[in-house]
Amino acid sequence: DVKVTQSSRYLVKRTGEKVFLECVQDMDHENMFWYRQDPGLGLRLIYFSYDVKMKEKGDIPEGYSVSREKKERFSLILESASTNQTSMYLCASSSPSSLYEQYFGPGTRLTVT
């Protein structure tokens, strides 16, 4: 069974704090993704990675960075959290062997106060 886990389900941070969101997958997938989900805006891609140490910007990368040091782990970093980054953050992974179907983690609900 496929498994994508995220480090926290709920997180509350203060404006200006550095925030780390971690995602781990156990499916040996090459591709990993970070999305944010906001009411009325749907899922928007922040960054994705197609290999260790490789990354590409998605549709809304501003204010975020990512790190992929190991194949199974993909981290999203908010360098200086702001209130407009309050959102649901979803991690996903995919692979050619699974026909590029994306599998999602349970999400992290981040509130920045």
Partner 1 sequence: GQQLNQSPQSMFIQEGEDVSMNCTSSSIFNTWLWYKQEPGEGPVLLIALYKAGELTSNGRLTAQFGITRKDSFLNISASIPSDVGIYFCAGLGGSNYKLTFGKGTLLTVNP
**Which chain residues interact with partner 1 by CB under 8 A?**
4, 9, 31, 40-43, 45, 48, 50, 56, 58-59, 90, 92, 94, 96, 99-107, 109
Question: Cβ of residue 5: shortest distance to partner 1, in angstroms?
Answer: 10
Residue 13 beta carbon to partner 1: minimum distance, rounded to whole angstroms: 19
- 50's enclosing H/E stretch is strand 42-51
Which residue shows structure tokens 């389900």?
A: 9
Least separation in angstroms between residue 80's CB and partner 1 is 26
Closer of 17 and 74 to partner 1 (Cβ): 74
- Indicate the residue among 80 and 92 with the shorter CB distance to partner 1: 92
Quote the Cα angle for 89-87-37, to 5°. 60
CB of 81 to partner 1, least distance (A): 21
Q: What is the DSSP string of 61-79?
A: -TTEEEEEEETTEEEEEES
CB 13 within 8 A of CB 79: no
Residue nearer to partner 1 on the CB measure, 17 or 100: 100
* Residue whose CB is less far from partner 1, 17 or 101: 101
